[in-house]
Structure 1
Amino acid sequence: MPKGEQPTAEQVNEVKTRFLKNLEEQPPAVPFHPSDLARIKDSDVWITQLLEAYKLDVEKAIIRLRENCEWRQSFGTNDITATNINQEYLNDGEIYVHNQDKDGMPLLIVNFSKHSKSKNHDDLIRVIVYWVERVQHQYNYEKKITLFMDMTGAGLSNLDLDFIKRIVGLFETKYPNAPNYIVVHELPFLLNAAFKIVKGFMPAEALEILRVTTKKDINEYVDQENSLKSWGGNDDYTYKFAA
């Protein structure tokens, strides 16, 4: 996927300087995590990606950077590990990272055939955050992620609009710089009407990168070797969690 317009060094520096000044003048009630502050002070990657995501809007990037630091502190994002999230959800194969898209970006797969509305949304979101953070650390925050909503074999009982809203909202506000594409694969005909509702609450930026695929055209975004057999590809992988 082509990159958005790149910010200048001056724009990055303005966000960084003003954010740190604001932090000094109006410190948060609970200090931000040292890892997040180090990322802002010692690297330009996070700010550059935010500016790119917000189309070089310096004001919006400053506001969202502070909001993100507040959320990461309250959510405990930096302290999430494979041992302190819901073990059933980590191991059941609904949410995991495997293979990559044609741009070389890791696939964060949400297998909706394994979803149930009775599952706890907060716990599921923590599993998603675990995988996003793991991938970002692995690639030093320099790779995007393709969110792959796998609808193969899913039915009305698996469709959970509130959960999809939570996922979209997470990427829209907490990881706006992360998605390469949002792929919805093999959407059953029965779910078309519901999916129109989903598109209605997606922000314009998400709609720009949304792709609805079938076995016929999945190769435009994920090649044959990186596509699971259930998607029409060659990979016979079965998920098993590995730390």
Structure 2
Amino acid sequence: MSAIPPEPTKAEIDQLRATAIQKIEAGGPFDPQDVRRIRSDDKYIRRFLMHHDNDQKLSLEMVMDTLKWRHENQCNAITKESIPQEFFDKGALFIHNRDKDGCKMLIFSVRLHQKGTLDMDQLKRFLIYWLERLEREEKGEWITVFFDMCDTGMKNMDMEFIQYMINLFKSYYPWVLNYIIVFEMPWLLNAMWKIIKTWLPPKSIQKIKFVDKKSVGEYVAPDQCLTGWGGTDSYQYHFEPEVTSSPSGGTVPNGDITDNRKVHFAEGSAPSSPLRGKTVSRRTTPSTGGVYVDIDPGEELVFSSCRIGVTASIVLTNPTANPLAIKIKTTSPEKYRVKPSVGVLEGEGQLEVGVTVGEQLAPSALVRDKFLVMAAPAPSLDLSSQEVSQLFKTVNKEDLFEARLRVGVAAEDTNTSSLASPATPSATLPPELISKLDQLLQRQSAMEDQLRSARRIVFLLLAMLIAVLVFLVIATNNMTSTLLMHSTALHQGGRSGHRGEL
């Protein structure tokens, strides 16, 4: 069990709650379900304090950042049905059994995952689904993440995904990690894990435990270890639906719980309050079904700089009399805060969407990104976030409107960014470094293939050498036997001749 800081007092918990509620009431938007949890759940508030050693300021910052992140990612609306089935069929990420401290294990079978084969946005939602499920099932108790690295190669190491996972525990799921157990890590991946350690706070590094079949028993009992880990549990992965308590006291599978939460737009950006002074630069091409939205800007979303907190706006106008469901996605959701990212735009209404840079990055790291604006006919204005998400899953292609915006940075910031003072290190690696790491992984993967080929050739040559040696030994023995027999025959013949002379 990891070291535990001093337990916060009831007064400290109440103090953090009071300051958090003040900030919540000062502005949002936040998910009502999360706000209710802040108001009523002492255990949840306690976790933020424990995460930051009872530092009120740091704990408050994490509370507010978590509320914003949860609203932006619609965490309470992520269900099994909202994730593509192929993610569950793969069996690379699942929950099963407990460690010796009684903590549920989230198991990541790294060999079943290959970087780039799955949509990263959906993969991140898939991870959030499991973490949210563990929050409900374990009621906020500690969990252990088990990296099964057996038979893992370079092609399986997805640094971006692992970094995202660690950042979730660091920034948005407080005081929930017991251990990070790394099982049977190949020696070639040592350098990767040295990088991963730098993403963790110093006090969290002690939570990482590298084990093999001989030492895994120190943290996981044999009956809780899979047979592949040297244990006695012969479990074969199959998806097990979540069962949670319903308000009536019964149980219903996750995703079937009714939710009356409504989508609210960010303050000051409701469709019923048209913006002034905005010029619509383009009317986008409508879909074959007649759905279209006016977008400003029409081609490129330009940020005045690449510094944390800089905001650019997307103005959406519904020129029709019918309501439209709106959803905005980005290729790099970890870099931006989009408010709102989902909702319903009333007929002839207008909405300003704020896009805020959430990380300190170089301009080159932003200009690669894109935003996707989607719209579809909405049956009514009164739709929950889950209903809007479901609508986009079922809408016909001819009724779906899509427009893409590239990201740009003002030229003056591009020129001066190299002269700016260095910012506080970000929780994520610069894309340039990730690209170089990917190249390193590819080269090492190629070296692995060459090494395997060389090993096969060496084994073949060794087998041939052994065969030649065996042949030579047998031939030498046969020749020796023949010579001995011939020599014996000559010797006996000589003796017989000598006797005849006598």
TM above 0.5, yes or no, is yes
Q: Could you tell me which residue of structure 2 aligns to residue 45 of structure 1?
A: 43
Whether the aligned pair in 2 keeps the contact of 1:105 and 1:146 (CA below 8 Å) is yes
Q: Could you tell me which residue of structure 1 aligns to residue 6 of structure 2?
A: 5
Q: CA deviation at 1:12?
A: 0.5
- Residues 46-69 of structure 1, C-alpha deviation per residue, up to 9 Å, x if partnerless? 110110011111111111101101
In 1, Cα distance between equivalents of 2:89 and 2:125: 13
Q: Could you tell me which residue of structure 1 aligns to residue 349 of structure 2?
A: none
Whether the aligned pair in 2 keeps the contact of 1:172 and 1:206 (CA below 8 Å) is no
Q: CA deviation at 1:172?
A: 0.7
1:215 aligns with 2:216: no
Unaligned runs of 5+ in 1: none
Taking structure 1 as the reference length, the TM-score comes to: 0.94
In 2, Cα distance between equivalents of 1:180 and 1:37: 26
Amino acid at match of 1:178: V
Amino acid at match of 1:27: G
Q: CA deviation at 1:8?
A: 0.8
Matches within 5 A, 1:79-118: 79-118=77-116
Q: Could you tell me which residue of structure 1 aligns to residue 21 of structure 2?
A: 20
Structure 1 stretch 185-194 or stretch 53-62: which is displaced more? 185-194
- From 61, 64, 75, the counterpart of 1:63: 61
- Residues 88-111 of structure 1, C-alpha deviation per residue, up to 9 Å, x if partnerless? 112211110000010111000111
Q: Could you tell me which residue of structure 2 aligns to residue 125 of structure 1?
A: 124
Q: Could you tell me which residue of structure 2 aligns to residue 240 of structure 1?
A: 238
1:54 aligns with 2:55: no
What SS does the aligned partner of 1:83 have? helix
In 2, Cα distance between equivalents of 1:86 and 1:171: 24
Matches within 5 A, 1:187-202: 187-202=185-200
Whether the aligned pair in 2 keeps the contact of 1:171 and 1:179 (CA below 8 Å) is yes
In 1, Cα distance between equivalents of 2:109 and 2:121: 17
Q: CA deviation at 1:17?
A: 0.5
- Residues 170-207 of structure 1, C-alpha deviation per residue, up to 9 Å, x if partnerless? 11111131111111111011212222222233222331
Whether the aligned pair in 2 keeps the contact of 1:52 and 1:177 (CA below 8 Å) is yes
In 2, Cα distance between equivalents of 1:78 and 1:161: 27
Q: Could you tell me which residue of structure 2 aligns to residue 137 of structure 1?
A: 136
Q: CA deviation at 1:128?
A: 1.5
Whether the aligned pair in 2 keeps the contact of 1:144 and 1:179 (CA below 8 Å) is yes
Unaligned runs of 5+ in 2: 242-502
Whether the aligned pair in 2 keeps the contact of 1:146 and 1:179 (CA below 8 Å) is yes
Identity within the alignment, %: 33
Q: Could you tell me which residue of structure 2 aligns to residue 148 of structure 1?
A: 146
- Residues 215-242 of structure 1, C-alpha deviation per residue, up to 9 Å, x if partnerless? 1110111110011111111111111112
Q: CA deviation at 1:121?
A: 2.5
In 2, Cα distance between equivalents of 1:104 and 1:81: 26
Q: CA deviation at 1:139?
A: 2.5
Taking structure 2 as the reference length, the TM-score comes to: 0.46
Matches within 5 A, 1:162-173: 162-173=160-171
Whether the aligned pair in 2 keeps the contact of 1:182 and 1:206 (CA below 8 Å) is no
Q: CA deviation at 1:166?
A: 1.1
Q: CA deviation at 1:116?
A: 0.6
Structure 1 stretch 120-129 or stretch 79-88: which is displaced more? 120-129
In 1, Cα distance between equivalents of 2:213 and 2:24: 50
Q: Could you tell me which residue of structure 1 aligns to residue 311 of structure 2?
A: none
In 2, Cα distance between equivalents of 1:86 and 1:205: 36
What SS does the aligned partner of 1:157 have? helix
Structure 1 stretch 199-208 or stretch 91-100: which is displaced more? 199-208
